[in-house]
A and B are shown apart, each in its own frame.
Chain A
């Protein structure tokens, strides 16, 4: 729900809103006077920029990738303006080249990078604890536990950033980013641009970095001293034999599981206030350390010789924490159990391409051709799942083409790289250039659905639209591909299965890098949802029950009451792919069936945008 839509005010004129962690971060950044915000979409960070885009006085846009976003943010911040840059955990890997060097120079305007980690890999290819990256870079970390803290800590992060001249990381996890709660708001402040002169001694050439290096260590020491007394690190006075040191959402779970224990609420997790932590441990018999991810806090405390800790030895480092998991550690057994024995396990409901998704034809053809498929990050990773099972590798953003080049050069014949339009612009272009440069005959399929699909239809430089909904210049993907030196490049309609097949076969036969741009907008885009849709239906007299239409695994096609496949008219978006699989012409528009004739009118929005 739009956080801007609720202006209910309490009796004391204190404004409260029910916000997600991400919405609260956007609001807090706005209150802190942020002027520039950028990033690249990535679950669970995406909604921050989407929320801030509608706020007054903020110049916000999606960048091509996280490294570009970070660099733009650096530029704005050293020019003196408060800047926010957002990304998911793996996005910071992309931006880490800039992230590691920026602290040497330091910032003028407040600079906060939000790193949204994903313990449990709800929507990610790996688990990684980005606190290590911040520690490596000598960057302080704040970790909120709930939406109110998301709001409060990002305000604090901007102040710390300007006070110490350092970039600051706000580390969230999936649960803090997507948990909603009541947030008490403040007013927007308008801190002036920090006066700045851009001097080579500070911002350029390695020789000067030798001079900057000691300052990096000095600054982190000063930040550690600041953390000792910072008000957001709350410490209970000792009154109970059990202590809890917790960060992030684990603090919320622990507050309920161990409500009578003493708490050391760690909001600033780097640098750690080690002296106070050691004193806290000494004042308690047993101290639980609850932190999702790696033993980042725990190891540093243990390294000081503290031994009365219970943490990763019992909780482990993998997956997302939960009240159940913490309680099991505290009680030494299962603390929460179901009272009901299930008759049979619930069958799974695996994720699948949406109704009408243009990726269906591509993965059906790839499966039929039995080629080796190097995949990429996007909805099309689901091509690895049944019934297609036609994607063999998925590593990270932009990896498909490079992986395919390596596979081909190692002798793996008939290798195809599959990459989406947003991912291609993000980090696929350099590897396509490499494929040409090395004369490696890979087949590259660019699945152009005119959006960043998986994260929720965000615009990118190829879509012709901007974050604020206005039009923007669009990259010409065909021209860009040709400019890399690819000589065989064709564009094909993704909903025409035969054409997709022909184009892929022709590309495979080409003895040099070949690109097929397979085009068709994401069905979740507003322009696709609002078009006139003619749902298809199964003519029972013609259907033989051969079940060929099930091969496309369309959620709209399920067994009807008579056992034959039936198409849900409320779900069907007339992509016509099932028609192309039917051997008996038994799938027609409802209109055609009512007319008593089988007119296979193609939908008018089939062609590319």
Chain B
């Protein structure tokens, strides 16, 4: 994002969190690819394996002029995108003071919650995060995906469209990326989902409340 002084785009540190099957890895890769298309160096990482079996899934994306580490350190994320409330809450500590949490208003109970610990689920995660001082934006993506688009699977694209204004990536980059990355028979649906999210972000105005910090680079320590 070009900052208010009009200097060069700095990049961003992003964490996408959710549960298996929600498309966490898909949209985190879309962010990384969009950043590359916009001229940034980008790195993205996640962990495969046992963590995918109904467990929490999260992915780090970093982009800037030059990126070495794929991992976003705690307290250094410009944006945490949560496709699920509990997972957004889990990664809230990664947010930097001027960062934002984009939260899909959707709950997936941990399996253990069926029998025990159900009261521990953070149903009011958005309010809690606000109270903690974490700027939080709520989007009812899962509900809208099912109701307006007839396919719950594109909730992640609604969230991506909603989050896009917080990322220093030109608007037309996203359109081009969708066209090259989404198979033709799913393109229209995904495009509508992305646009729906983007329009919701605009309607929620007055634009991103908390822009990313000046530079996404990790603090340089002089030993």
Contacts and interface: CB of A to CB of B under 8 A. Distances in A.
Q: Which of A241, A335, A337, A342 has the most CB of B within 10 A?
A: A342
Interface in A178-198: 178-182
Interface string B36-66: 1000011111111111111110000000000
The interface size bin for chain B is 35 or more
A258 B221 contact: yes
Given A255-B69, A344-B120, A349-B55, A242 B33 contact: no
Main DSSP-derived SS at the B contact region: mixed
B122 interface: yes
A65 interface: no
Nearest to B29: A1
Interface stretch (A219-227, A532-540, A548-556): A548-556
Nearest to A16: B36
Interface stretch (B130-138, B157-165, B186-194, B203-211): B130-138
Interface string B69-82: 11101111000000
B97 A339 contact: yes
A6 B19 CA distance: 27
A323 B134 contact: no
Interface stretch (A207-215, A351-359, A429-437, A506-514): A351-359
B68 A43 contact: no
A509 B76 CA distance: 60
B54 A324 contact: no
A349 B54 contact: yes
Contacts of B113: 347, 558-559
The interface size bin for chain A is 35 or more
A179 B43 contact: yes
A242 B67 CA distance: 22
B111 A554 contact: yes
B137 to A, nearest CB: 16
A350 B115 CA distance: 14
Contacts of A340: 92-93, 95, 132-134
A175 B114 CA distance: 34
Contacts of B152: 570
A451 interface: no
A343 B223 CA distance: 35
B181 interface: yes
Contact of A354 (B53, B67, B69, B132): B53
Main DSSP-derived SS at the A contact region: loop
Contacts of B75: 336-339
Contact of A253 (B69, B95, B180, B181): B69
A408 interface: no
Contacts of B214: none
B19 A353 contact: no
B33 A252 contact: no
A256 B68 contact: yes
Nearest to B57: A349
A602 interface: no
B46 to A, nearest CB: 6
Interface string B115-126: 101101110000
**Which 6 pairs of residues, A with B, have the shortest CB-CB distance?**
A123-B49, A338-B93, A346-B90, A336-B73, A351-B53, A255-B68
Interface of A: 1, 6, 8, 18, 43-44, 122-123, 145-146, 174-175, 178-182, 241-242, 251-253, 255-261, 286, 288, 322-324, 327, 330-331, 335-344, 346-354, 379, 382, 386-387, 454-456, 547, 550, 553-555, 557-559, 565, 570
11 contacts: A44-B49, A123-B48, A178-B47, A180-B43, A252-B70, A322-B71, A338-B93, A340-B92, A349-B110, A554-B111, A558-B109
Interface of B: 19, 29, 32-33, 36, 41-56, 67-71, 73-76, 86-87, 89-90, 92-97, 108-115, 117-118, 120-122, 128, 131-134, 152, 180-181, 217-223
Given A256-B218, A336-B75, A349-B87, 19 more contacts: A18-B29, A18-B33, A43-B48, A43-B49, A253-B68, A258-B221, A288-B223, A323-B73, A339-B96, A340-B134, A341-B132, A346-B122, A347-B110, A347-B120, A349-B56, A351-B52, A550-B114, A558-B111, A559-B118
